[in-house]
Amino acid sequence: MEPNSILTTEKKQKTFDVKFAVLVGLVAVLGVANLHAIRQASRAHDRLDQVHRSLEARIAGVNEQAQVVGARADRATAELHQQLQDARRTVAANADRRASQLVGKLEAEYRQQQSAIASEIGEVKQAASSTSQQVASVAQDVSAVRGDVTQTRSELENARAELKTEMKSMRGDLGIQSGLIATNSRELAALRQLGERNYHEFAVNKNGRAVKVASINLILRKTDSKRNKFTLDVLADDKRVEKKDKNINEPVQFYVSGSRQPYELVVNEVKKDRIVGYLAVPKLVELATR
């Protein structure tokens, strides 16, 4: 063989040996890697088996607990159902007993009412019989009373006529003819019996203070007991009217809102620091103010 051919063959052989050695090394490395991977996979599989067995054990425990809880719930439900049935039976029994008691009570009250009504009817019948007898007696009394009333009315009219004759009717300080004037307590009582006006007695001291009489106020300013004269202020409807140097038993007249007739003030007694008299008020005015 030629030297060049021999060299070429040796090179090829060396190249093949190197490649073969590299290949063998790679195979060895891959084998080691596969062995390691197999070991890791085996370990992972063992761990999965452990986890699976643990989960199965836990699931079994949970199932047991669920069965225990379910059994307790079933027992509790049964007990509640039994209690409900017992309560219903108790309520029904109590309702029947109360209904019976109520019916008995109502029957007793009805019998009492019937007895009371029968008693009242008997009393009414007896009272009616007694009343009819009394009516006959009262009818006789009424006839007698009518005669007395007629006589009394006639006597009253005669007394009024005599009273009007005895008392005076004067012209007041406003120039209006007054009603009858009372000069003492006896005549004032007689005027009240006539009933033509309402009369309010008063006594006012000279101290500057207002004295309320009916719906007005009086303030005594001056007195002259020797001449039987006086001066006073009349306060009515938020107005002040001075009545100056008025005489005893003189009708002092003034108007108040709502009255077509004048009020009349009469002083029957004048003392040093005091006057005594009465106020005559139209009846229609006092009725309207009530």
Report DSSP state, residue 131. Answer: H
pLDDT range class, residue 288, cuts 50, 70, 90 = low
Cα–Cα distance, 27 to 281 (Å, whole number): 147
> Looking at the 3D structure of the chain, how many domains does it have?
2
Q: Is the pLDDT of residue 219 over 70?
A: yes
Quote the pLDDT of residue 267.
Answer: 97
Same domain as 51, residue 115:
yes
In which band, very low, low, confident or very high, does the pLDDT at 213 lie, cut at 50, 70 and 90?
Answer: very high
Predicted pLDDT of residue 64 = 82
pLDDT band for 138, please (50, 70, 90 cuts).
Answer: low
Helix (H, G, I), strand (E, B) or coil at 263: strand
Question: What's CA 41's distance to the chain center, in Å?
Answer: 89
- Length of the chain, in residues: 290
In this predicted structure, what is the pLDDT of residue 145? Answer: 56
CA angle 190, 242, 286 (to 5 degrees): 40
What share of the chain has pLDDT > 70, as a percent? Answer: 82
On the 0-12 / 13-18 / 19+ scale of CB atoms within 10 A, 278 is: buried
Indicate whether 141 belongs to any domain: no
Average pLDDT, the chain: 82
| Domain containing residue 264: CATH number | 2.60.98
Chain centroid offset of residue 227 CA: 65
Band of pLDDT at residue 183, cut at 50, 70 and 90: very high
Residues with Cβ < 8 Å from 270, sequence gap 6 or more? 223, 224, 225, 228, 229, 230, 248
pLDDT for residue 257 is more than 70: yes
Residue of higher predicted confidence among 119 and 274: 274
171 and 285, same domain (yes or no): yes
Work out the number of other CB atoms within 10 angstroms of the CB of residue 263. Answer: 23
Residue 33 lies in a domain: no
* Whether residue 258 sits in one domain with residue 204: yes
Lowest-pLDDT choice from 95-99, 176-180, 247-251: 95-99
Q: Which residue has the higher pLDDT, 93 or 108?
A: 108
266-278: pLDDT as tens digits: 999 999 999 999 9
How much is the pTM?
Answer: 0.46
Contacts of 160 (CB under 8 A, 6+ apart): 194
What's the confidence (pLDDT) of residue 46?
87
User: From the CB of residue 228, how many other CB atoms can be counted at a distance below 10 Å?
Assistant: 15
Determine the average pLDDT of the residues in 27-52.
Answer: 81
Amino acid at the residue 80:
L
Query: In the numeric block, which tokens belong to residue 249?
Result: 């038993």
- Same-domain status, 179 and 102: no
Residues 183 and 262 in one domain: yes
User: 7 pLDDT exceeds 80?
Assistant: no
**Residue (of 233, 281, 220, 278) closest to 255 by Cα position:** 281
Asked if the structure places residue 252 within a domain, the reply is yes
* 91, 201: one domain: no
Of 85, 107, 130, the one marking the end of a domain is 130
pLDDT value, residue 77: 78
Single residue among 80, 111, 130 that ends a domain in this structure: 130
Return the higher-pLDDT residue of 268 and 288: 268
pLDDT on residue 135:
53
Q: Tell me which residue of 266, 268, 269, 289 sits closest to 279, measured CA to CA.
A: 266
Single residue among 69, 101, 130 that ends a domain in this structure: 130
| One domain, residues 126 and 172 | no
| Beta strands at 229-236 and 239-247: parallel, antiparallel or unpaired | antiparallel
Residue 227, domain extent: 167-289
